Amino acid sequence: MNSVKTLVLPLRIPVELDLDLLTPLQAWLEYQHDNAELNSQGKREDEANNDRPPTVLECQSDLERLQRMRRTMAHALQQSCHSFTACWEQAVPSMQEYAAALAEFLQHEYFWLPCVDHTNSRRQRQSDASHASKMSSTFHTSYSFKDDDDAYDDDNINSKLSGNRYHSDEPCWNPFRSHWQTLGSDHIDVFGGLEWERANIIWNLCTLEIYRATQKDLTKKTGWVQTGAHLCTAAALLRRLRTEELYPESTSTASLTTAIACSTSSIAFQPQTLRMWEYAILAEAQRTSYEAFRKLPRPRHFMLAKLAAGAVPLYQQVDSDTALMPVRSDVILRQRYQEWSVWGRAWKSWMTALMHYHQAMEHVEKQQNAMVIARLNVAIDAVDACRRVLSSSSSLLRNQQYQKWEIPVEPIVQDMLQERQEMLEEGGPRPIPHDDLPEIPTQSSLNMAPDLSQLLPSLHDHFFQSVLSPRTRQYVQDFRHEMEQLVYTKALLGEEHTERARKALAAVQLPHSLTAYRQELAGGGVPEDLWERVQLLQIERRESHIKSELWELQDQAEQAQRLLKQVSQQLDDDLEMDQYFRKSYPDYAVSISNPIEDIQQPFRKQMQRFQRLMTEAEESDALVVQKSETLETDPKFRLLRMSKSQLDRLFPGSSEDQDAINVTLLSQHLVDLSLLFRDREGLVQALREEVKTVSIVPQLQELEKKRIHDEEAYHQVAASAKLSFQQKFLVLEQSIERQGNLLAMILQENELFMEARQQKAGGEAFIVKLEDALEEMDHLTDHLREGKAFYDSILPKLQKWKLAVEDMSARVAIDRCDYEDSLRRNRQEAEDARMAATYEQSSTSSRTESITSPTRVMATHPGVQSVSIHGNPRVTQVDDEKVASLLAMDFDPDAIVAALLKYNNDMDQALNELLGG
């Protein structure tokens, strides 16, 4: 039987066929952009641009293309997964394309997603955002969500995971989720990064390559050679996945969190299980080399022994790695790995028997009979061990896919037994002990570095062609900012003229007076369109909603002001502390290159922008509060609470003998003016939308290709792009000019209308009040909506800015502490040097006195001289070692010397003296 089939593992299948990659990757890019903005504080503009990731707009087409590739791959794999042949023909091209696309994405740091987000609160996630900018440049890992209580036990963490380079100790938000499962298994693995999407694809390519190895004709040498080539390719895939893509070996030790994240992920991608699969494949590939050599017309036994010996440690490694396999997770894969353990032990014993058998045959040719008997004894023992493994594991193997492992032992075993029997009958020499047998050298013909470009090809049409260089990105940002300002100015001009015209009409009670007159002719009562607006307002209970929304708006405003004041106070406190510190340490200003004023400058500029925005918001909020207070006091708002019958009584009809006034021309002019307002608003909105989509990127990229980088070329591109807006700007200016003419004609017609009516307007005043009340309610609603949108936008920015200021403040404080520590160390070193010089000088003086004095010198301690004059010796020099020991306890140096001299260098008494003093 072809035992290579045992190595064909089930395919990995995506659970979501239409997984949304677009939304999470867009959110991740925006998140990266926000952190880059925080990091750019205090940097030059060119440095900041170099650190910024590409925008979502720049990557939009690439993200959509990746989404399509993933969907195509998932559907093809799902449809063909039950047949390896169909999968190779139908799904492999889309898998290869998707894997190549993922490889290009993973070449860019801004698509390295972090580990799982364990934070629950919004505040914590916002706090984590401040740390994201400090994360390692090699940072992404997988994770799996489980309900196992022991998923994070220390005992479950394997030390082999310490090489994962894709992790940082900093927690971070991760919006990406993908779900995969082993075909036929109920267990679903959850991953949080693009590299794990690619890992599942490489897994499938590997198992398909092994499947191709099982389809070769093993009755011929070429079949064994081709099988070995496929197996070497599969092993190389696994080695690349394990040592380069998931767990690079050249990185430093990761933290405990990395081990937890990986140890709870899919059993399929544990480093020990990947290695076990790789060694199992290599062992079979080595065996194919042995079988291919056996197919030669006259194979040499010494070469067969070496080839068999090369497979033994590989099978041994498979059995050893089984002990490191996690006991949880995917049942199907766990059963297969346990099967491999028995399989590895059986084949290790059998290949051991073969290598000793062939080596014995080599000894026969050399007439080394003692060696022959010893080798044959070892070979027969190995065959018995192989049989014991298979018989003892029969219950384990009964339910496996491949029940019969008929390792072809019988023919060769019979040869072994016959050869040994003949030698014993001939009365051969005594066998050599097993431990004295020379080790059989190994021989490997495996290609350990096959060409993987056929299985993992690169893309012909590469991604990120539209991603801009920092210089081009700055040009694009400058152009967009300039166009936004230009459109804003034009839009503001149009809005000012519209408001001016409405005020001019309101001053002469238009169109209220015309509406009231028509209603009088119709028989009186509140106009139907006005009543519909009043009724809608009453149904929505807009007045009460306005009050509650106003309270919420004031709470948001107070929160924003509080954040602004806290940051302002933080900056002022840091500046005051720095000034005090510099006065205390004048040399600090010289040693530190960047004074705090320069460090704080970008933050204070940002604070000025926030203060300007908040001042404008406060003025707008004050107007809203002022208007809302009139809801209870102004009589016109009471009209909004009346029923239709009550309002009808306020608008009487005209008398029958009253002649009708011709208001056709006035009405037409008002309609024309209203249409002009509407068209102008549409034009302004079109300008705002167009400025969002206008792009000079293709033109700038052409300049980059031609290596043109001068400012004049950029200005020419920008000026050309502005031409598309000139026509709309001209239409806007013509609209403003036409408004003046229309307004003049309306006012003239209104004078004739008012003279003809003789100011006899029964319900006109109420019409004016009702429309004014409705308009003010609409304005209040719009102001509150805009205010809420403003604070919803500025509060997260203020919070992130506050975190950035706190981070800067902490760095400055650390610099000051480091400087103080440095000064303290320098003082201590100077003091130690002074003490050493004093002791040296004292020692020199003592030695001089000892030569000239008629006293007897006694050497009682190393480095200590004592003088005896008619009694006990007195110490005149202290012991340097004891001084050093006491100095380490932070006692005063002079007190140490005095105490040691006082007690004749007695350490204990001197210490008691110092402690008592």
Give 689-746 pLDDT, tens digit per residue: 888 888 787 788 778 777 776 778 888 888 888 888 888 889 999 999 999 999 999 8
The residues facing 858 across adjacent strands are 866
Residue 334 has pLDDT above 90, yes or no: no
- The average pLDDT across 857-884 equals 54
Distance CA 561, CA 225 (A): 77
Question: Residue 72: its pLDDT value, please?
Answer: 93
**Closest by Cα among 189, 218, 343, 192 to 277:** 343
Q: In this prediction, what percent of the chain has a pLDDT beyond 90?
A: 12
The pLDDT-based confidence of 14 (bands split at 50, 70, 90) is very high
Question: Residue 100: its pLDDT value, please?
Answer: 93
Note the Cα 474 to chain centre separation in Å: 25
Summarize the chain as % helix, strand, coil (round to 5).
Answer: 70, 5, 25
Q: Which amino acid is at 853?
A: S
Estimate the crossing angle of helix 194-214 against helix 221-240, to 10 degrees: 170
| pLDDT tens-place string over residues 348-394 | 998 999 998 888 888 878 878 788 878 888 888 888 888 888 877 65
Tokens of 235: 């092993």
| pLDDT tens-place string over residues 647-656 | 777 665 555 5
Reduce the secondary structure of 433-462 to three states and give it as a string: CHHHCCCCCCCCCCCCCCCCCCCCCCCCCC
Q: Give the number of other Cβ atoms within 10 Å of residue 866's Cβ.
A: 20
Q: In this prediction, what percent of the chain has a pLDDT beyond 70?
A: 76
Distance CA 203, CA 235 (A): 11
Check: CB of residue 452 under 8 Å from CB of residue 684.
no
Q: Give the number of other Cβ atoms within 10 Å of residue 210's Cβ.
A: 26
Exposure string for 265-277, b = 16+ CB within 10 A, e = fewer = bbbbbbbbbbbbb
- Give Dmax over CA atoms of the chain in angstroms: 152
Residues in the chain: 917
Distance CA 785, CA 565 (A): 25
Note the Cα 564 to chain centre separation in Å: 29
Tokens of 738: 């036409």
> In this predicted model, which residue has the larger pLDDT, 391 or 226?
226
- The average pLDDT across 45-58 equals 65
Residue 541 has pLDDT above 80, yes or no: yes
Mean pLDDT of the chain: 77
Q: List all residues 6 or more positions away from 247 whose beta carbon is below 8 Å from its beta carbon.
A: 160, 161, 163, 164, 165, 271
Tokens of 375: 């080798």
Distance CA 419, CA 102 (A): 59
Dihedral sign from CA coordinates of 162, 166, 168, 170: negative
Question: Residue 868: its pLDDT value, please?
Answer: 42
Residue 258 has pLDDT above 50, yes or no: no
**Closest by Cα among 182, 227, 174, 177 to 200:** 182
Distance CA 2, CA 224 (A): 11
Distance CA 255, CA 252 (A): 10
Exposure string for 379-411, b = 16+ CB within 10 A, e = fewer = bbebbebbbebbeebeeebeebeeeebebebee
Check: CB of residue 119 under 8 Å from CB of residue 171.
yes
| pLDDT tens-place string over residues 402-460 | 334 444 545 666 676 677 667 666 666 666 777 778 889 888 878 888 888 888 998 88
Check: CB of residue 560 under 8 Å from CB of residue 600.
no
Residue 69 to residues 19, 22, 894, Cα–Cα distance (Å): 11, 12, 80
What does pTM read for this prediction? 0.54
Q: What are phi and psi of 690, to 5 degrees?
A: -70, -35
Question: Residue 424: its pLDDT value, please?
Answer: 66
Residue 912 has pLDDT above 80, yes or no: no
Question: Is residue 857 helix, strand or coil?
Answer: strand
Question: Residue 652: its pLDDT value, please?
Answer: 59
Which domains are delineated in the chain? 1-41+53-115+173-298 (1.25.40.280), 300-445 (1.25.40.280), 470-809 (1.20.140.50)
